[in-house]
Amino acid sequence: MATLSRDKPINIAIIAMGGQGGGVLSKWILNLADSQGYIAQYTSVPGVAQRTGATIYYIELFPAHLAEQAGKKPILALTPVPGDVDIVIASEMIEAGRALMRGFVDGNTSFIASNHRDYAIFEKQEMGDGRRPVDEINSLAQETAREFICFNMDAAARSVGSVISSVLFGALAGSGALPFKRADFEATIAASKKAVQANLKGFELGFETATEEQVTNNSPVEKPEPAQTYATTVAKLMVRMECEFPPHAHFYIREGLKKLVDFENTDYATLYLDRLAQIYKTDKQTGGSGKKWRLTTESARYLALAMAYDDVMRVADLKTRSDRFDRFRNEVKAEPDQIVHVSEFMHPRLEEIAEILPIRLGQFMLSSKAVRKISGLFFNKGRRISTTKLGGFVLLYAMGRMSWLRGYSLRLLRENQRIESWLVAIEDAAQRDYALAIEIAGLQRLIKGYGDTHARGLHRYSVIMNVYDKIKDGADAAEAIARLKAAALKDEEGVAFAEALYTIVGDGTQPSTNLHV
Amino acid sequence: MAERSFAKEVQSLKLGDGAEFKGEGILAVTKALLQSGVSYVGGYQGAPISHLMDVLADAEEILTELDIHFEASASEAAAAAMLAASVNYPLRGAVTWKSTVGTNVASDALASVSSSGVMGGALVIVGEDYGEGSSIMQERTHAFAMKSQMWLLDPRPNLTSITEMVEKGFELSEASSTPVMLELRIRACHVHGSFKAKDNVRPGFKLRDAMENPVRDYDRVVLPPSNFVHEKEKVEQRWPAAIDFIRENKLNEFFGGHTASHGIIVQGGLYNTLMRALAILGLADHYGETDIPIYCLNVTYPLLNGEVAGFCVDKKAVLVVEEGQPEYLEQAICTILRREDISTKVHGKDMLPLAGEYTGQVVCDGVGKFLQTHAPELVETATVIGSSLPEDSQKTLFETVPNRPSGFCTGCPERPVFTAMKLVQRQLGNIHVSCDIGCHLFSILPPFNIGNTTMGYGLGWSGASAFNTETSQRTISIMGDGGFWHNGLTSGVGNAVFNKNDNILVIVDNGYSAATGGQDILSSRAENSSKSTKNPISKAIAGLGIRWQRTVITYDIGAMMRTLTEAMTTPEKGPKVIIAESECMLNRERREKPIRNQRITEGKRIVRARFGVDSDTCTGDHACIRLSGCPSLTIKDNPDPLREDPVAYVNNDCVGCGVCGEVSHAAVLCPSFYRADLVYNPTVWDRFTNRFRGLVIGFLQRRADKRRAKFSFGDL
């Protein structure tokens, strides 16, 4: 019988996306181990797999002195085996989930992960919110790993002008999972001779955060509500909100009022409260008090969005505001005194111009072939307008000041018609089924964007409203509307929507893969 | 210039006898070639052996010093044909490529050189692109070795074994007059480790000697009657010679105990995985000590009947650990045992999966099953491995964790081509699109979902050649510049001209063989001291007889849409080629970024562009993302508490390529995109105009702020 030695390697798997610095981190670990008398083996899969896809870097470290004593060379593996990984490092939260899913993390594993999100294309491309929840990953990691060090290492790295690999390396040092001293880690970074100062700062941040008292549940701290000071011009609106509406709805109503006063004026905001009061009345009749006034609350939200639609004046106004200038400087990481020129990609079409004009004129422009032909010369291509230069700024600024035109515009007429019939439908639905009314209110979510996007959303909205008329007496109408809404937000081509329509209405319309349903 | 430079690492190729070599597997293979006295090396790049080509290119100086010729071959077929130099002369040569795709391309020449037989050692180093991280169809190189009768080496994946096997491979090739293939799996190619180096050897007989004193031997040419003689030679002389060499040099290894009634036969390349599995099961230690007898096949073709029979004869059962299918080794072992009338039970694909990569987990499970059947006393206490997560947690994870397929890089010039195509499809209806090999194949993935088939490198247009009939909807084929020069010039363009094809080819010309790591090709715009570049594709296809051709800058989506529409709708008959041109952003940024930073520190005026999305006007529909897919175009929480859907957001990785802006113009999306030009080291005029503008704009903004403040709701 052979006597088996108990010497074993330290196995490290790094789960990352290609180009995210997993290679740099691996090299550091390799060099560090090498300098500390370890036999180190490292493998990865470069090439196409690394073009932004998920990939695994794998390292095994074996104490050289043990191998010398044994007089033999260790046999090191090239891929991680579930249940046999000592340290797992994930460079992003979904990748942490992937590490768990592949079984690399168990009760003996030190698990280091950054909890920031780098959204996958499947999450980004949805028309609604396709983001996957990561709370489950967080709690599973806590339950499974020997220790779980998790914080936003991406933000930490950015805060010191470094890259995530330095923070991960720091967190690895801080975890104490490797038998090396902090100074040895730092010496490895210094020896690499690339961006040493920034990387050392990132390392320090990683180390310090990892060794701090573990804050595992970083639930948002309850902010004390500061005293509200509103201007006398809006006092009437606010007082009316406080007196007439239940506190549950106050947050959205206040945001709605803010938006609508900003969008048009206080009269328009008063109209909002009038309309909402009607809904609240229905809410009271249909037992809303026992349901936290959800109908009023949800309607407060969606009605504000419906009334503050995005027209040319609105966009022009938003584009020229001072806080917007601060924001883009911040977003592009401009230095304090740096000159930044900004140009906007605008593509106004005849429709957008006509709809802000007085009703008759707008209708004429849209119906006249001659106008369409002539305007084609102006609206056939996108324009770049520089808001940081005088010509562009003044143009947009002036357009932004023309919101008084709205009261006479074709667009407002159309929006009012749609909103009124929508509100009637909500009230009608509430009489049948409270949940159904909430679904109808939520359909506003489909109407967003500009141009074709807006037209498509509006079209799907109308289709669902038609379906509503057919099925409103059914017991599962609320569920059907919810399904249709989710399907309408699923894909642009309308495949999911057509399928959902087919199963719910079943009127013989076969699901179609036609591009524009 | 390749994506990765090995300029520093290649210095270790000069290491002499006894020095410790540390580095990547691929670099170690190069060192072993130099130690073996090769006269010529060549190949075609492709993962996982791209780095081998890059190392050779970066080591050109060292190679020249040693009188070695390095050829960046036009294709694997060209590389394989180069082995012809070893047929008549005692010249050692090595070629390399990605397998099995490269071996497919090379197989014509490989069959010929195998028939002729070689005088000098001929080594084919194949990167077996199988399993995780692979980008190709899953097949085995083993089949090629068998059909052409080339010997196949599959060494244990540590640098010492790999480099030894390179040297032995040449000797085996010469001893048996047969070309030899050395198979390296993906991770073995990139494994970092160490081995004891030897001195480099300068070839005794040089290329020049052969050219100045040519030798002709009719018997070596593949033509009747020699070809019939070759077939006899193969089985009567070369095969037995190889068997003797392998046995005498102990190329296969025996490990573990000698007494057990069961044993394991393993491919050399899987030895480490097997040993890890045994260690996890508590049956081996990490130095490879075990009681279980192991027969490690560093040569997987041919098998040695005597060794196989000897290993099996005293055992009740053996397990064959053999990756990929069909199970050639298992079949051969069964044949050997049947002929020798040995009744040992042979297990393999009955206990291990028929297909797929043999990872640690898979081998652990298979070995566990084998031992439970034939030595249950050993595994009673064996550790159960695998995920300890409960089933519903697994399910949650499965639902939560999205796939993260590869995609176009930030700023990639190929992306706008497919954006334009997606938009054109909206007007003209869906189009049959035949894809090729290269980064552009990512078009088949979300968000583009464009592409029907991919038939091979440079075969994009031939892949649609059947669709050449009277119709109102033409087809579009895609080809990269790499694929064009590899094969597409003749199989694609020449084929279309000759057959009077009426369809469209889009050649994505980014200046490099980009997917394989940014190597230079004929049409690269870069200076290359040892290769001829700057040979434009437009001239080549004009020479072939393409009359309808347009060159479009890929980033100009509007122009691309117009050109595609024209090509789709023009009454003009005949093949139509659109060259979509823009430099690979990965390469460009690698070159330009340091220069830009240098200029900024030097105080020169630099304007850097990048893009952004206004979260105030973005409504969270993500149409821009569905038309772009740029990694730097992502999403974040909507700052408007009333809205639910996340807004688009351009993160700081943006390289300012401008595609987002072009998309929003071309698709009439929304007014949210802006381009920001950041001015570094502004001139006096810059400052003056900026101050003046700031005064006016600031005045107007303050007025607006004041007006809004009158209607303040206070801050929460």
Asked whether the beta carbons of B712 and A377 are under 8 A apart, the reply is no
Q: What would the CATH number be for the domain defined by B15-248?
A: 3.40.50.970
The pLDDT of residue B206 is above 60: yes
| CB atoms closer than 10 angstroms to residue B451 | 22
8 Å CB contact of A328 and B614: yes
- Domain(s) of CATH 3.40.50.920: residues in chain B: 253-379
Q: Which residues contact B104 (CB under 8 A, 6 or more apart)?
A: B456
Burial class (CB in 10 A: 0-12, 13-18, 19+), A173: buried
Kindly give the pairing relationship between strand A147-151 and strand A339-346. Answer: unpaired
CA B47, CA B50: separation in Å to the nearest integer?
5
Q: How confident is the model at residue A511 (pLDDT cuts 50, 70, 90)?
A: very low
Q: What is the DSSP string of B460-508?
A: TTGGGTT--SS-SS--EEEEEHHHIIIIIIIIIIIHHHHTT--SEEEEE
Residue B715 has pLDDT above 90, yes or no: no
Residue B383 has pLDDT above 60, yes or no: no
Question: Which residues of chain A make contact with B288, given a CB cutoff of 8 A?
Answer: 72, 75
Sign (positive or negative) of CA dihedral A83, A85, A89, A92: negative
Other C-beta atoms within 10 Å of B206: how many? 16
Q: How many CB pairs lie under 8 A apart between chains A and B?
A: 425
- pLDDT category, A54, cuts 50, 70, 90? confident
* ipTM of the modeled complex: 0.93
Largest CA distance in chain B: 102
Provide the pairing of β-strand B192-196 with B151-153. Answer: unpaired
Contacting residues of B for A41, CB less than 8 Å apart? 191-193
Tell me if A1 and B291 make a contact (CB, 8 A cut-off): yes
Q: Do B404 and A17 count as a contact with CB atoms less than 8 A apart? A: yes
User: Average of pLDDT values for B7-15?
Assistant: 90
Q: Are strands B504-509 and B576-581 parallel, antiparallel or unpaired?
A: parallel
Q: State how far the Cα of B335 lies from the Cα of B344, in Å rounded to an integer.
A: 12
pLDDT by residue (tens digit) across A233-285?
Answer: 999 999 999 999 999 999 999 999 999 999 999 999 999 999 999 999 999 99
Which residue of A121, A322, A333 is in closest CB contact with B629? A121
CA angle B607, B610, B614 (to 5 degrees): 130
pLDDT tier, A512 (very low <50, low <70, confident <90, very high otherwise):
very low
Helix (H) or strand (E) holding A272: helix A266-285
In this structure, what token pair is assigned to residue B343?
């009744």
Q: pLDDT (tens digit, 9 = 90+) per residue, B597-630? A: 999 999 999 999 999 999 999 999 999 999 988 9
Contact map slice: B 637-696 vs A, CB within 8 A: 640-646, 650, 652, 661, 664-671, 673-680, 682, 686-687, 690, 693, 696
- A347-363: b (≥16 Cβ within 10 Å) or e: bbbbbbbbbbbeeeebe
Contact B157 A78 (CB under 8 A): yes
What is the third-level CATH fold of B415-587? Rossmann fold (3.40.50)
* Six token digits for residue B22: 């540390």
CA distance B665 to A381: 7
Domains of chain A: 10-211 (3.40.920.10), 312-409 (no CATH)
pLDDT at A12: 97
Quick check: B386 pLDDT over 80? no
Using 50, 70 and 90 to split pLDDT, how confident is the model at B48? confident
pLDDT of A349 higher than 70: yes
Q: Which residues does chain B have within 8 Å of residue A327's beta carbon, measured at their own beta carbons?
A: 614-615
Judge whether residue A501 has pLDDT over 90. Answer: yes
Residue in B670, B639, B671, B635 with CA at minimum distance from that of residue B651:
B635
Query: Would you call B272 and A78 a contact, using CB atoms and an 8 Å cutoff?
Result: yes
pLDDT bracket for residue A51 (50, 70, 90) = low
Cβ(B318)–Cβ(B312) below 8 Å = yes
Alpha carbon B480 to its chain's center: 15
Query: Is A140 in contact with B158 (Cβ distance < 8 A)?
Result: no
pLDDT, tens digit (0-9, with 9 covering 90-100), for A91-104: 999 999 999 999 99
pLDDT digits (tens, 9 = 90+) for B94-148: 999 999 999 999 999 999 999 999 999 999 999 998 988 788 999 999 999 999 9
What is the mean pLDDT of the segment spanning B177-192?
Answer: 94
Among A164-173, B47-56, B136-145, B413-422, the range scoring the smallest mean pLDDT is B47-56
Q: What is the pLDDT of residues A353-387, one digit of tens each?
A: 888 889 999 899 888 888 888 887 777 778 899 99
**Helix H or strand E segment including B402:** none
Choose the most confident range, by mean pLDDT, from B267-276, B405-414, B654-663, B705-714: B267-276
What does the pLDDT look like over B628-656, one tens digit per residue?
889 999 999 999 999 999 999 999 889 99
Local confidence band at A509 (pLDDT 50, 70, 90 cut-offs): low
Residue A213's pLDDT is 61
The proportion of chain B whose per-residue pLDDT surpasses 90, expressed as a percent, equals 82
Question: For residue B41, which of B91, B88, B4 has the smallest C-alpha distance?
Answer: B91
**Are the beta carbons of A206 and A238 closer than 8 angstroms?**
no
Any idea which residue has 């393999």 for tokens? B348
Q: Where in chain B is the domain with CATH 3.40.50.970?
A: 15-248, 415-587
For chain A positions 475-504, those within 8 Å of chain B (CB to CB) are 492
**pTM for the model:** 0.92
Choice between B153 and B136, residue whose per-residue pLDDT is larger: B153
Give the span between the Cα atoms of A265 and A168, in whole angstroms: 51
**Is the predicted pLDDT of residue A217 greater than 70, yes or no?**
no
What local confidence, expressed as pLDDT, does residue B443 receive? 94
User: Quick check: A517 pLDDT over 90?
Assistant: no
Is a pLDDT exceeding 80 seen at residue A287? yes
Q: Note whether B178 and B149 are within 8 A (CB).
A: yes
Number of residues written out for chain B: 716
The one-letter amino acid code at B347 reads: H
In the CATH scheme, what architecture does the domain B253-379 have?
Answer: 3-Layer(aba) Sandwich (3.40)
Who wins on pLDDT, A76 or A212?
A76
Position B35 confidence tier, pLDDT thresholds 50, 70, 90: very high
CB proximity list for A68: less than 8 A, separation 6 or greater: none
Residues of A in contact with B279 (CB under 8 A): 8
Binned at pLDDT 50, 70 and 90, residue B465 comes out as very high
Q: Which of residues 373-432 of B touch A (CB under 8 A)?
A: 383, 385-389, 393-394, 396-398, 400-409, 425-426, 429-430
Pick from B710, B670, B693, B686: nearest CA to A325: B693
Where does the pLDDT of residue B714 fall: very low under 50, low under 70, confident under 90, or very high at 90 and above? confident
Q: Which chain B residue's Cα is nearest to A392?
A: B697
B23 contacts in chain A (CB < 8 Å):
none
**Closest to B625 in 3D by CA, of B406, B445, B446:** B446
